[in-house]
Structure 1
Amino acid sequence: MINYLKNRFQLSDSGASEIIRAIVSGAFLAISNMIPMIIIMVFTKGLLEGGLPSLQTFVILICGGALVMFVLYYVNYNDTYTVVYSEAKTLRINLAEKLKELPLSFFSKHDMSDLAQAIMKDITDIEHALSHAIPKFYSNLIAFVLISILLLVWNVPLGLSIIIPTILSFAFLYLSKSIQIRETNKYFVKLRENAEKFQQAIELQQEIKSYRLEEATRKDVAASIEDSEKIHIRAEFAQAIPVTLSGFIVRSMLGVTIFVGSILYANDGVTLLYLLGYILASSRISEAILDIQMNFAEMLYIDSRVKNIQSINETAIQSGESAEIRDTAIEFKDVTFAYDDNHVINGVSFTAPAGKVTALVGPSGGGKTTALRLASRLYDYDQGEIRIDGRDMKNIATEDLFKKISIVFQDVTLFNTTVLENIRIGRPDASDEEVKEAARLANCDEFVLKLPNGYETMIGENGGKLSGGERQRLSIARAILKNSPIILLDEISAALDIENEKRIQDSLNSLIKGRTVIIISHRMKSIENADTIVVLKDGLVEAAGNHQELLDRSTTYREMIDKSRLTDAFTY
């Protein structure tokens, strides 16, 4: 049962165990709801036989029954609600931990709004089902089975008059399960699409306003909302109609019980007391069955949410063993990689020697940035090997690998916190003085000291309050602060003016001494002195060597050098 609940609702071990406790206590609570009916039966028996029980007996029965129901309600409430909120916290933490272990390729295939929805909205829906639907569904079902057995033992025809309508209603509801799930899934997918559209409309306001796309965007969003409304209505009907019709069958239970009981009573097949008891039981059980059906509908509603979280949990993580990396040379051996079906790296082999500078050059789309991401294991390659310290990179724990690597990509990511804390990400235990020294080396002082609160200035979402060049320099400061033996640089000077580029180059020249460096740059002048230059074209290594060797051997390299000189000479 524990494994079933874990797999069915993506629960933790402790969460599944606690839900079982909630189901058991809920079953006892559901059975205890028959206590008022039993007291009524005792009273009726005395009334029919002409000898009512004493007042003391009634007081004891009522107070005792109320106490039992209160205790069971308290236990069930604690087992259900208190524990469920803790489990929801555990689900979110576990999901966040899982996401932390996934490769960057996973995030490139999923919209960020989808992942945010999974952590917040999906788990919130599951949390509601865990506290309101799932325990009650199973506990009421268990109570119904136990009570049905007793009702059959006491009187088979009357017992069947209650059980048969219930089974028919369940059968009807179950047969409509696939329709409910299908329509609910459509609504679930549409909600995701809407979230993506809204996020895009907010993030791309600059482009929308620049190209006067306000009206087109408004119509697109409005049409998406209108489609969502239609799909939502269909999903609601897909659930409401089966539940309503099943409820109608359940509500007929009382009439069936009275009809069967009347025939039995007329033929002396049952006493009046028993008939009254079954009528009361039918009324009480029908309410419980209606609850079961509503709970079942909610469980179907969260099916898409559970599967979404399950797909994340089942995604293979980047595994590896803990290792101390000493030799920082990086060797590509016949490496291939594809984004879905788009092959970007096709059998690439080259070596970035330890303590040397290796430059990757080539036309756009040749695989340079992808190779850099593979070298840092932000992506996992499909075939071949990337070896570091004599071991396949996939066999090294990412935590140990990332300790040795500093990365500066062209697309900088900053956090909505202070300048100081954004740089400190490079080494969280660094002192303020060390952070500021790294900022100085990256030429950040010039603009940081002009900010309203200096290094304590909040820079907005993804550094929105800074220019492109300023954001890039903060990213470089992070890498300087981390002080790793392996440095990966992707077009770091792309957003810098000539003066700042010279200063950054001076800082990097002192930073990269004695370190393993892989750099990408379209400014050919900046990589001419690299120890090794690798020319990547169409996902293949066309040639490798130093500047002079490539001028002699590589047509692509010569063309890039010639174009670079023409660009430098270009004027408006």
Structure 2
Amino acid sequence: MFNKVLEYAGSYRNRTILSGIVILLAVLLQVLPFLFVYRIIKPLIMGEAISFGYITVCIAGVCICLVLHALLYVKGLSMSHDAAYNILMRLRIYLQRRLENLPMGRIQEKGTGSLKRMFVDDVDSIEMLLAHALPEGLGNVAVPVMVYISLFAVDWKLALLSMASLPIGMAAMCVMYAIGSKDMSNYYKAGKVMNNTIIEYINGMEVVKVFNKDGDSYKRYEKDIKNYRDFTLGWYKACWPWMAVYNSVLPSTLILTLPLGSWFVLRGYSALPDLILVMCLSLSIGIPLLKALSFIPSLPQINYKISALENLMNEEPLKQTDRDFNGDGLTIRFTDVAFSYEKKLVADHINMVIKEGQKVALVGESGSGKSTLAKLLVHYYDPDRGAITIGGQDLRNMSLEALTQIISYVDQDQYLFNTSIFENIKIGCPSASREQVIEAAEKAQCMEFIDKFPQGIDTLSGSGGRKLSGGQRQRIALARAILKNAPIVVLDEAMAFADPENEDKLEKAISEAVKGKTLIVIAHRLQSVKNADMIYMMEKGYIAGAGTHDQLIRECPSYEKLWQAALESADWKTTTAGKDGKRNA
């Protein structure tokens, strides 16, 4: 446990240890006043002379100890919080680095809800353990141990009597800890499910309203929240009786010391001054014992929570090196590539060659593996088998940064940050001038709608680009690709948000984005790719046919069937046009 904490403490390791020492001294100063009280009570009971000055000195000692206790406790907690937040910072940086090394596809699979909980909620929950449980728990354990050692040095019989409450309190605590440990993983799992459900409910509220699914969506929302509530209350209810036992029994250190200790004194087995000293010190450790036992069950959670966070990222990192791209040309080659998603084979025996400057289309029904090949090419995943090379250089034999310099990837749902349209386009080339950004926006047919905004290109796009339509966001994504000017462009359903009015504008934007470049396009609309240099027909993860449009019509039944369906769809749209000539479909 301590190694796990110190591993992330880094340069704050000494501060973490020092905070524990300072709090230990603070707890010790909480015990010392009882020794001063003993120094006053002993001569009074023994009939010895005692001066007013002596009593004053003892009272002053009590006051000084209490003041120093408060100061050191505050100082120790300040140091422990400082160290704790720096440990959390280092933990978040570690998780971020692990996240960056994971395949992008795996990151998307985890979902925003799970990642948000991990980076924010789960990491924050460790703060209390690091800032309080660790330094206070150890300090409040160490002092009672030192006091009991001292008591045994004074009178072992009385010391044993003062420890009579410990076995019952410890037994109750162990039972409570066993119950808590048994269900700890399920407790966190229920919280994770609830968190993901809440985020999904909020993000999907528009769809829920449009399709009148409030009841179904709310039922799941309510079910997961109630499940978390019931599980948490059930866990607490199982622990509460045992908590009550040790909270009431542990501080009762005089339960046997006073009656039996008095009898020992009367029988001559123990001395009266020793009984007084043991009683005073026994009273002094009641509060530290309670604090210690309230923190001890939390200490293993530090190791559990840090390990749980590490395990969430415990996946095979993306295979890459720090090498630049040094391939011979830009010919792309898939050699016997296979890939599985959640143990389901989604691409197999993929052999494909895309020559430099070619326009290549991947077509097929939904789920046939088209987008999977695009994501493999931009290295969102590593293939399970085979190799993907550019200019003869394996993708796994170059850095991801080097790959992204030669490939622009535009999918159907490009994310826009909550900043200006200008800054969102500039992401394509951070070193670009304002004039270059505006030029890229013009080529992508963006200025037509940008000029309508009062702030023009400096208009905020909103979180996720919510202030813009799907077609407008797509054109901004194409502007990024134009500005980036990579020699290879991958368009994954780039026309997905195109309505009849914007379709021509998007086609012009795409023409600018791919001018003089190698183009790989994934599309459902076969009419838009019929003039491609090469078309690969995907079916159930396999290449069912490859060739030009005319060749596939003649030689590939699957493509011919898909083409006929596309023609029928186009005819349907034509026949549903209104009297004014506008489409109603």
Query: Which stretch has the larger CA shift, 226-235 or 85-94?
Result: 85-94
Residue 359 of structure 2 aligns with an amino acid whose one-letter code is: V
Residue 502 of structure 1 deviates from its aligned partner by: 3.6
Spell out the pairing of 1:169-208 with structure 2 (5 A cutoff).
Answer: 169-208=169-208
Which whole-Å deviations, capped at 9, do the CAs of 1:54-76 have from their partners, x for residues lacking one? 44744774466457535633541
Distance across 2 between alignment mates of 1:96 and 1:247: 41
Deviation at 1:568, TM superposition (A): 2.8
Counterpart among 28, 34, 38 of residue 37 in structure 1: 34
Q: Kindly indicate whether the alpha-carbon contact (under 8 Å) linking 2:29 and 2:69 is maintained by their aligned counterparts in 1.
A: yes
Match of 1:50 in 2: 48
The alpha-carbon distance between structure 1 residues 468 and 199, as it changes in their structure 2 partners (threshold 3 A), is same
Matched to 1:42, the amino acid is R
Measured in 1, the distance between the counterparts of 2:301 and 2:2 equals: 22
1:161 equivalent to 2:158? Answer no
Q: TM-score, normalised to structure 1's length?
A: 0.90
Alpha-carbon displacement from aligned partner over 1:387-432 (angstroms, at most 9, x marks no partner): 2343432343223322332110012322222212221222223222
Q: Which is further off, 505-514 or 475-484?
A: 505-514
State the partner residue of 2:21: 24
Name the SS for the 2:291 alignment partner. helix
Match for 2:536 among 534, 538, 548?
534
Whether 1:332 and 2:334 are equivalent positions in the alignment is yes
Q: For 1:390 and 1:51, how far apart are their aligned partners in 2?
A: 99
The worse-fitting range, judged by mean Cα deviation, of 457-466 and 169-178 is 169-178
Deviation of 1:253 (Å): 2.8
2:290 matches 1:290 = yes
Q: 1:219 to 1:259 in 2, by over 3 A?
A: same
Residue number among 442, 446, 449 corresponding to 1:447 in the alignment: 449
Tell me which residue corresponds to 1:213. Answer: 213
Aligned equivalents of 2:273, 2:321: Cα separation in 1: 73
Q: 1:458 to 1:74 in 2, by over 3 A?
A: same
CA distance in structure 2 between the partners assigned to 1:306 and 1:471 by the alignment: 39
Q: Distance in 2 between matches of 1:491 and 1:524?
A: 12
Q: Is the 8 A contact 1:243 1:293 kept in 2?
A: no
Aligned partner letter, 1:455: I
Code of the aligned partner of 1:547: H
Say whether the 8 Å CA contact 1:404–1:484 is kept in structure 2: yes
Question: Which residue of 1 is the match for residue 10 of structure 2?
Answer: 13
Other-structure match for 2:567: 565
1:393 equivalent in structure 2: 395
In structure 2, how many angstroms separate the alpha carbons of the residues matched to 1:435 and 1:513? 17
Q: CA deviation at 1:325?
A: 0.9
**Corresponding letter in the other structure for 1:135:** P
Q: Could you tell me whether the CA contact under 8 Å between 1:531 and 1:546 is conserved in 2?
A: yes
| Cα separation, partners in 2 of 1:305 and 1:112, compared to 1, 3 Å | farther
Distance in 2 separating the partners of 1:289 and 1:162: 13
How far apart are the structure 2 equivalents of 1:317 and 1:20? 34
Sequence identity (%): 27
Amino acid at match of 1:489: L
Instruction: Give the residue type in structure 2 aligned to 1:25.
Output: V
CA distance 1:278–1:420, change in 2 (3 Å): same
- TM-aligned CA distance change 1:392 to 1:241, over 3 Å: farther
Moved more, 376-385 or 44-53: 44-53
Specify the alignment match of 1:112 in structure 2: 112
The whole-number CA distance in structure 2 between the counterparts of 1:14 and 1:155 is: 45
Matched to 2:41, the amino acid is: T
How far apart in 1 are the matches of 2:123 and 2:321? 32
Q: C-alpha separation between the residues in 1 aligned to 2:285 and 2:525?
A: 79
User: How far apart are the structure 1 equivalents of 2:315 and 2:147?
Assistant: 44
Q: How many pairs are equivalent?
A: 569
The unaligned stretches of length 5 or more in structure 2 are: 577-585
Letter in 1 for 2:341: Y
Tell me how far apart the structure 1 counterparts of residues 390 and 50 of structure 2 sit (CA, whole Å).
Answer: 90
- How far apart in 2 are the matches of 1:219 and 1:551? 49
In 1, Cα distance between the equivalents of 2:453 and 2:58? Answer: 79
Of the structure 1 ranges 522-531 and 124-133, higher mean CA displacement relative to structure 2 is found in 522-531
Q: Using the TM superposition, give the Cα deviation of residue 109 of structure 1 relative to its aligned residue in structure 2, in angstroms.
A: 3.2
- Cα shift readout 1:518-553 (whole Å, capped 9, x = no counterpart): 211122233233333222211112233333443443
- CA RMSD of superposed structures (Å): 2.8
- 1:228 matched to which residue of 2? 228
Map of 1:73 onto structure 2: 73
Task: Give the drift of 1:30.
Answer: 2.1
Q: Does 1:518 align with 2:520?
A: yes
Amino acid at match of 2:30: N
Aligned twin of 2:278: 278
1:231-273 deviation line (CA, Å, top 9, x unaligned) = 2211222332332222233134321222442232222232222
Q: CA deviation at 1:365?
A: 0.9
CA distance in 1, matches of 2:371, 2:287: 63
Residue aligned with 1:240, SS: helix
TM-score (norm 2): 0.88
- Contact kept, 8 Å, 1:536 with 1:542, in 2: the verdict is yes
Match of 2:430 among 407, 428, 431: 428
**1:51-99: CA deviation from partner (whole Å, max 9, x where unpaired):** 3364474477446645753563354133212222333333334333433
**C-alpha displacement of 1:41:** 2.1
Secondary structure (helix, strand or coil) at the match of 1:416 reads: coil
CA shift, 1:23, in A, is 2.1
Does structure 2 conserve the Cα–Cα contact (< 8 Å) formed by 1:417 and 1:458? yes
Partner AA of 1:50 in structure 2: E
